[in-house]
Structure 1
Amino acid sequence: MNEIRTGQKDGNIFSKEMDRRAFLQKTTLAASATIGLSLANSLNLISASAASSASIMNSGGKGPDLVFPVISDIHIHNSSNKTLEKFKTTLEQLNKAVPKQDAFLVVGDLTDYGYTSEYDKFMSAYHAHKQPGAVSMFAIGNHDYWNGLSTADAQKRFLAKTGMESIYYHKVIKGYHFIVLGTEDGLTEGTFSVEQINWLSEQLKIAQADDWKKPIFVFHHQPIKGTVYGSEWGFSQNRDLFYDTLKEYPQVISFSGHTHYPLDDPRIIHQKDFTSIGTSTGAYLWLDAGRIQGEVPEGADVLNQALIVEVHNNKVLIKRRDIHCNDWTGDPFEISLPANKQKFTYTEDRDKKAPFFTKDSMLAINQEMTSATGMAIMFTQAKDELLVHDYKVVAIHANSGEVVKEFLAFSEFYKDPVPNPLTLTIDGLQANTAYQIEVHALDAYGNVCSKPLKALGKTKTTVAANTVL
């Protein structure tokens, strides 16, 4: 029998603010960075899902005790059906990958603005594909408040349209505890009140008393700062109280959305006192700042990912699904039961090995793409035991030895397939000048290769007739 315990706090008057996603709505995804383009017909391609196989996906032996998908940030839009079609594809694909679901979780931002028409689109698609035996559990996200209603009325609309009993609640399914939390207003970073966190504390005590050996699943839209990849977008208010409440329960597996950061990065799972994992997005990709491809790189609106959770008597498997290419990405994350923080494997210090370039790696100047003020480079991607995340590119004046240009670029690990070789453009150079180019590889944990690739190149000369020699 499924149990439910609910709790809710009255909200304050809605106050909309501009955030990165609001900014994105006012820009064109197609108008992204022109640098970082891969050569379509050059060398081999690295498959992002090459490490996964049917044998890896099978846990072996007896089937799981519990199975449920987790998705987030669907962003159903009032005036466009693009994300709606992606949502339908997600549901169809998950039904094929997981034909018997015990629950279905959506961790916030079901809609783009929380409009009635957006909820109607969402629920219509969901009910058309929902498995009869799956218990529906939805969390409210900040975008679900952006409709001009008061906070309280926006919450009422969410509850009325989704059928949820409260914005935060506790259910027990097949003996496993699910605690769904709700951000309490439309602020981008999220608000979780002391009242709600105290309620969470009580529910965790109940779950542990029921069976301390079993995992406790907790869901909340914004991540806890200092945990998963992208958690810089998490909440600050009551952050430590929230974290410390979960800290007492190593069996907690906490799922968050909001960031749109991809599942491919190993930091998407984090273990220290408990397990945290990000849920990516069903709408569009977002990435770290400071790289030349930008936070919303070329093709960002293609990304569509999901998690599938399998619970066995001695482990939890969390499988990463690329909906956009109908395949798995990476190996499943495996969490041993009963949970023991001394045996956590997905810790912040788990990767000490730096990436490296193989002996046959090459760095070349692409003369066809080189101009008087810019130089195009093409190089073989480095290797790493987990993920090559970035490259630091340095241009050094060949005569003076002065560093004239330095920047970070993504390895474009988020693409399927990952481009190899990778082509980047170095702008802001002087005409008819020789430069020593260095390419340093960095992995997801900041380890830097010991031997960078190096090449000597020269920009072209501009003549009076505006031609290039």
Structure 2
Amino acid sequence: MKKILCLFLAAVFVLAGAGVAAGADEAPAAQGEFVPVIRFVASSDTHVKEDDDTNAKRIPMMMEIAYARAQADPSYTNLDALIVAGDLTDQGTKKCFDNFWEAVSGSLRDGTRFLGVAAKNHDGWNMSRRDVHEYYKSLTGNDPDFHVVINGFHFIGLSASDDDAQHYDSKQLSWLKEQFDAAIKEDPNKPVFFIHHEHNRDTVYGSSFFDGWGITNFKSILNNYPQVVDFSGHSHYPLNDPRSVWQGKYTAIGTGAIYYSEFTIDESRAYDPPDCAETATFWLVELDASNNMRLRGYDVNENKLLVEYMMKNPADPANRDFAQDKIKAKSSAPAFAPGTQIQTEPQFGGCKATVHKADSTDTMPVTLYRFYAKNSLGITLAKDWVLPDYYRAIEQDEIEYTFENLPAGEYTISVVAENAYGMQSPSVETKVTLEGETGIKAVLMVLTSFFKGIIDFVVHLF
């Protein structure tokens, strides 16, 4: 028994703040020693539409993955609940809700409880929120605000207020505090799960004021309850980004999305990559008898594991291994393999640059590549970033970018790889001679690039 406990604790310390690589098999250290006493799906932003809907089809796909993982665990085969943290529908019509519930109810097996909340956002587009709540309850049999207990764990959910002018009203906030007090009185050492749609401001990736997807309604309440584990969506920011799990006075977890992924990169907020609609992710959450929590994030379309975390009992305020400053301190810059070269294809006024992907030097993904073009005087005439597909369980071996509108001359093309915390690899460089504009047009192009760089710098400061 002592040996098993030591192995488990070792696994906890190794995995705390770290994730497995995209598409990897289940981590062996997390299989044998962790015995769940509860298991549930945590998802959001299903955005089910009225007609011919890919999103609705992803719900049974998600549940098949979750049930398969549950059945593969001989120590505990149950899947106890399905959480959907708002934006159940895309347009908020009765037809959308009908399609959503048809997909959910057709996917649930005996013993799995549905726990969903309706959001202020898409769920309220075509009906008053009071009508949304009434129709939701008529379909699901669930109250839009709920407090249920499953296997001794408390789940508390808040839908958007009946008042269309508010996210959440004062009556709801008072009720929420009462529910937290009751749950914690029963067992102050056990996590309490809170489900709502919008992130809490300045917690997980996507929740900052600049990102635009965070709210402050719950801050004064949550700061008093270290036992809370908060699940929220709304941003669609990727769940396998290390910034999507946060610990401070409580624990917050971003749920990704069943429909599309979004990002903030430098001054670009709400950036949607070209393949964003092809993404669908969810968490499979488990806790053991000591309240330690295992989080496994899956790519629905690829049926592969994206990331796995092991978290020591989050109800204990002494357990804060996922505080962002701690995760950042454990992370390290990516690195290109020795001998990596940039392949260039010159063309008039520019060139295509291709480089083999960099490697992570920890367990976190490479989240960005930055490309630069400097002229013979060392002046950067062009720069841009490329977002790799780290948010999907697919292999992307080559990273490419095409420079355009460069004047004729000799250039140094360079690339750096970057992690979620801005730590950069040593650069890979190559020289190339380009044909392009000369004379006054070339001078104007250089001046335009120079002043654009100054503007970008000033914007970044503010």
Q: TM-score, normalized by length of structure 2?
A: 0.81
What is the aligned residue count? Answer: 404
Residues 35-93 of structure 1, C-alpha deviations (whole Å, 9 max, x = no match): xxxxxxxxxxx97223x4252452526x3111111121111111232212222222222
1:48-447, aligned counterparts within 5 Å? 48-50=22-24, 52-53=25-26, 55-58=28-31, 60=33, 63-99=35-71, 100-141=78-119, 142-147=121-126, 149-165=127-143, 167-184=144-161, 191-231=167-207, 232-236=211-215, 239=216, 242-290=218-266, 295-314=271-290, 315-330=292-307, 332-337=308-313, 339-349=315-325, 350-352=327-329, 353-358=331-336, 360-367=338-345, 370-382=346-358, 383-385=360-362, 386-398=364-376, 400-430=377-407, 432-447=408-423
- Structure having the larger proportion of residues in helix: 2
Query: Kindly, what percent of the aligned residue pairs are identical?
Result: 26
Instruction: Give the drift of 1:418.
Output: 3.5
For residue 412 of structure 1, what is the amino acid of its counterpart? D
State the 1:387 CA deviation. Answer: 2.3
- CA distance, structure 2, for counterparts of residue 433 and residue 294 of structure 1: 36
2 CA distance for matches of 1:67 and 1:185?
Answer: 31
Instruction: Give 1:214 shift.
Output: 0.7
**What is the alpha-carbon root mean square deviation over aligned residues?**
2.6
Change (3 A) 1:409 1:108: same
- SS of 1:90's partner is helix
Q: Any conservation in 2 of the 1:143–1:186 contact (CA below 8 Å)?
A: no
* Alpha-carbon distance between aligned partners in 1 of 2:361 and 2:317, rounded to the nearest angstrom: 26
Deviates more, 1:311-320 or 1:90-99: 90-99
- Scaled by the length of structure 1, what TM-score is found? 0.80
Residue by residue over 1:98-117, the C-alpha shift from the partner in whole angstroms, topping out at 9 and shown as x without a partner, is 24212221111111112111
SS of aligned partner of 2:149: strand
CA deviations 1:411-450 (Å, max 9, x no partner) are 33124324123112222312x322112222221012233x
5+ long unaligned stretches in structure 1: 1-45, 464-469
SS of structure 1 residue aligned to 2:57: helix
* Mapped contact 2:305–2:393 kept (Cα < 8 A): no
What is the deviation of 1:278? 0.8
Instruction: State the shift of 1:118 in Å.
Output: 1.4
Please tell me whether the aligned partners of residues 292 and 409 of structure 1 are also in contact (alpha carbons under 8 angstroms): no
Shift of residue 462, structure 1, vs aligned partner: 8.2
Deviation at 1:460, TM superposition (A): 3.5
- Match runs of 1:14-29 below 5 Å: none
The residue that corresponds to 1:8 in the other structure is: none
| Contact kept? 2:199, 2:232, Cα under 8 Å | yes
CA distance, structure 1, for counterparts of residue 53 and residue 254 of structure 2: 25
Distance in 2 between residues matched to 1:186 and 1:428, nearest whole Å: 53
Conserved? CA contact 1:318–1:333, under 8 Å: yes
Q: Which has the higher contact order (CA 8 A, sep 6+)?
A: 1
Deviation at 1:224, TM superposition (A): 0.7
Displacement of 1:291 after TM fit? 8.4
Q: Which residue of 2 aligns with 1:454?
A: 429
Decide whether the 8 Å contact of 1:171 with 1:177 is kept in 2.
yes
Q: Which residue of 1 aligns with 2:448?
A: none
Q: CA deviation at 1:170?
A: 0.9
Shift of 1:311: 1.2
Tell me how far 1:325 sits from its aligned partner.
0.8
